[in-house]
Homo-oligomer: A and B are copies of this chain.
């Protein structure tokens, strides 16, 4: 019944079941229930195994296997997030988000498996390998490694990573500097200082951050060229869409225009929305748009980018067919253009543009 674009990290088959976040008794039952699945993280990275075919699988633990993590004084209990209820089937058959929330009125919920994420901190790997001999921590130094997880698991892993990273960096009250105290199954934290102003009324200091970022495929006035840029740190030959953090007090459309102008001096007129993507690095919301350029002369903001260029449609199309760096010379002037992988919304925006008719 819907044909919305679903991007990587945006597909989750869990129902977040948020009305249970305050039901301490229910949460406790679920925590100990044998049908409950735990995904474990250290340094904001999940524990995974690699299958024989080289596929990454997130380790799923049961309470009995990890209860030693909870057998600590209350203050040292690991940060634990209730992710939701349902099944996460990592198969290749399910491709689109079929959001089928469970009925609230009747408590079939106790039959549905619950999911929790736990920050295992500096637990020795051997302790986890007693339950899962091949468990390893997905490279915590390289966050791009997260794109290795299966599409069907990516949403849950992204949700977990964003919330665990938030607790990791937001331990003190920004209003008074006191320590925070975690509530609502990981979705809220409140100041422990009874006198704090943040306890009067509702303040965003208590809630997880979600940082909106505008990302845009900017189309040349001739309809046949796309504006792409590269950071110095990108692999050789890689270009991607321009993007930037939204600022307070602007619309999505104006954020697109501002960032494109700042980074390339190109002026954008009309902007259309394409799709969005949660990006758990640590908690961005990528808002993917098309921008219609009304000027063509580029001035690169060399503070942020190494190069920005117009690319011909045929070269972009060839790069979409091509692979990563070093997979051959595609593109004109023997400069081997390559694009971000399919998991990045930039790739999907570029692909959608290539599929559009020219000179619309």
Residues of A within 8 A of B (CB): 1-4, 6-7, 9-10, 12, 16, 18-19, 97, 99, 101, 103-105, 155, 158-163, 166, 169-179, 187, 197-198, 203-205, 207-212, 245-254, 257-258, 261-262, 265, 267, 269-271, 273, 275-278, 280, 282-283, 285, 287, 292, 294, 299, 301, 303
Contacts and interface: CB of A to CB of B under 8 A. Distances in A.
A19 B262 contact: yes
Contacts of A245: 207
A13 to B, nearest CB: 11
14 contacts: A1-B292, A7-B251, A18-B262, A19-B303, A101-B267, A104-B265, A104-B299, A155-B250, A204-B209, A204-B211, A207-B245, A209-B248, A212-B212, A252-B285
B276 A253 contact: yes
B270 A208 contact: no
A249 B285 CA distance: 8
A275 B287 contact: no
Contacts of A262: 18-19
Contact of A210 (B172, B247, B270): B247
Contacts of A269: 1-2
A254 B18 CA distance: 14
6 closest Cβ pairs, A-B complex: A159-B249, A162-B248, A1-B269, A172-B177, A2-B270, A273-B273
A208 B275 contact: no
B101 A210 contact: no
A4 B253 contact: yes
A353 to B, nearest CB: 17
A101 to B, nearest CB: 5
A275 B172 CA distance: 35
Nearest to A303: B19
B258 A105 contact: no
A336 to B, nearest CB: 29
A158 to B, nearest CB: 5
Given A211-B210, A270-B1, A10 B97 contact: no
Among the interface residues A9, A250, A258, which one has the most CB atoms of the partner chain B within 10 A?
A250
Contacts of A205: 169-170
B2 A271 contact: yes
Contacts of A159: 247-250
Nearest to A283: B248
A254 B99 contact: yes
Nearest to A212: B212
Contacts of A174: 169-174
A251 B175 CA distance: 30
A4 B270 contact: yes
A199 B74 CA distance: 30
B203 A247 contact: no
Contacts of A158: 248-249
Given A4-B251, A16-B247, 19 more contacts: A1-B270, A4-B270, A10-B250, A10-B251, A97-B253, A99-B257, A103-B265, A158-B248, A162-B248, A162-B249, A170-B174, A172-B174, A204-B209, A210-B212, A210-B247, A210-B248, A249-B280, A249-B283, A251-B278
